[in-house]
Amino acid sequence: MRRRLKSMTLGLLAGTLALSLAACGTAKNTDNEGGQTSGGSSKVTLELAISKSSQDSPFIADWLIEEFEQETGIKINLQLIPAEQSTTVLQTKLAVDEVPDLIQYNLASAVTDLNLERNFEILDNEPWVSRIQNPDVLSAFGHIYGFHVSQDTGMQGVVYNKDIFEELGLSIPKNYEEFLAVCEAIKAAGYTPVFMPYKDAWAANIWPAAAFADWAAKNDPTLFDDLNSNKKQWTDIPAFEEILEQQYQIYKLGYTNADVLADSYDMAVGKFLSKEVAMMFMGDWLIQNITSQDPSMNIGLFAIPYAEDPSIGASPLGGQLFIPKKSKHIEEAKKYLEFIASPEIAQRIVDAESYVSNLSDVTTPEQPEYKQEIIDNYITPEKVTLTMDAHMIVDQNEWYRNLQDQFTGMITPKEALANWNEKFQELMKDKGAEGF
């Protein structure tokens, strides 16, 4: 009997302790909440959500956040999300109304992944908008949603080792036959002409995305609109099949690494640094990654040579700041954008990152050689086309997987397009797009 009493008392004590701790915890939380919303005496803290892979973004630089706090008293708290989870975490936060005040994301992906139109503030009337030189890179559906001080979107094409080209006396190929000849010469010299890391399925879409877009711009300007409204099918365009076959032929002719489906993108920089490969279908961010590890390397970029005189592919501008509609501190978040857009601050950022400025009163600093070449050869003569990615409003992962399937040799380009067409219809219908 006594033992029973003892154990019951102990149990009761433990229970009360646990309960009081829990109550304490919640009491503290509500205290904080009260402090924040009471405004006045306590400071506002903005929550900025960003993927860990973007932690070098100038928008979250320590000096920027400190100076902003000094000037306005508004603190910024960073929510760093692991890269592979960033999309799902942000989707969840937006769905449960636990929204951050600022999000750094990629505009084109935000349209589909984060439901841009429904969840984000339109910024058309902000004071800095009038000074933006290229509003298209920040806009979707006719309104400005994002903010960036750079108009330099990632350019996509063939990243190439200039030293190897010089060594072998090669010039930039202007069409497909010239490209194959260049590959042959490079292979004969003992290098691997093209590195294809297609275990990462998205890498297989660099050649097609740029080539499709360039072909469409020159032969059928309304093509993507037609595809998106079901007026045309992906299988209706013979040129697409040819383009896919071209990329596959490069592999079949032995001009690539042996294990295209087992090699991954993270091997790319190493392959260039060890002078194993001469070229890769990728964006100019890769050049930055290579030269930051070995500044003596001379790397350049030329447009995907699927046909005569191609334009360079431009990806939609990434790393923009967005403001969710349901943020509790929209005015303060907008203040942060204004602060960054101020001529002095913007100039500092543009200079530090060598951006091509998007603000009329912020000058573009001297660009690294490869960048200047791109500007001279493609941007200035207006030979830039937005790649296919910019026109897609559905998830493209299945398309990438079809490209992989094509490389296993299991399906033809025609079948790849047919499979994607089927999936595309499904995805568009799920989205409720008109015409499906």
Residues near other proteins (CB under 8 A) are: 87-88, 91, 95, 112-113, 115, 118, 199, 201, 258-259, 261-262, 394-395, 397-398, 401-402, 404-405, 407-408, 410, 427, 430-431
* CB distance 277 to 163 below 8 Å: no
Instruction: Give me the helices (H) in 47-160, please.
Output: 62-72, 86-95, 107-113, 116-119
- Least distance from C-beta 4 to other proteins, angstroms? 11
Find tokens 């060594």 and name the residue.
Answer: 167
Q: How far is the CB of 258 from other proteins (least distance, A)?
A: 6
Question: 17 or 181: whose CB is closer to other proteins?
Answer: 17
Q: Which is nearer to other proteins, 61 or 393 (CB)?
A: 393
Taking the C-alpha atoms of residue 89 and residue 95, their distance in angstroms, rounded to an integer, is 10
Euclidean distance between CA atoms 256 and 235, whole angstroms:
28
CB 404 → other proteins: shortest distance, Å?
4
- Grouping H, G, I as helix, E, B as strand and the rest as coil, residue 46 is strand
Q: State how far the alpha carbon of 186 is from the alpha carbons of 190, 370, 375, in Å.
A: 7, 21, 27
Tell me whether residue 33 or residue 266 sits nearer to other proteins (CB atom). Answer: 266
Closer by beta carbon to other proteins, 199 or else 335: 199
> Which residue carries 């969710």 as its tokens?
324
Distance between CA atoms of residues 12 and 45, nearest Å? 41
Residue with Cβ nearer other proteins (174 or 414):
414
CB of 129 to other proteins, least distance (A): 27
Closest of 280, 213, 208 to residue 246, by C-alpha: 208
Under DSSP, the state recorded for 27 is H
Q: How far is the CB of 395 from other proteins (least distance, A)?
A: 5
In whole angstroms, how close is the CB of 305 to other proteins at the nearest point? Answer: 26
Q: Which is nearer to other proteins, 185 or 261 (CB)?
A: 261
Token output for 209:
């995305």
Q: What is the 3-state secondary structure (H, E, C) of 248-286?
A: HHHHHCCCECCCCCCCCHHHHHHHHHCCCEEEEEEECHH
Distance CA 237, CA 216 (A): 10
Coil, strand or helix: which one is 196?
coil
Is the separation of the CB atoms in 216 and 224 below 8 Å? Answer: yes
Residue 225 CB, nearest approach to other proteins (Å): 20
Q: How far is the CB of 393 from other proteins (least distance, A)?
A: 10
Q: How far apart are CA 122 and CA 203, in angstroms?
A: 32
Nearer to other proteins, 202 or 285 (CB): 202
Which is closer to other proteins, CB of 72 or CB of 91? Answer: 91
Instruction: Tell me which residue of 224, 248, 246 sits closest to 424, measured CA to CA.
Output: 224
CB of 202 to other proteins, least distance (A): 11
Nearer residue to other proteins within complex by CB, 290 or 403? 403
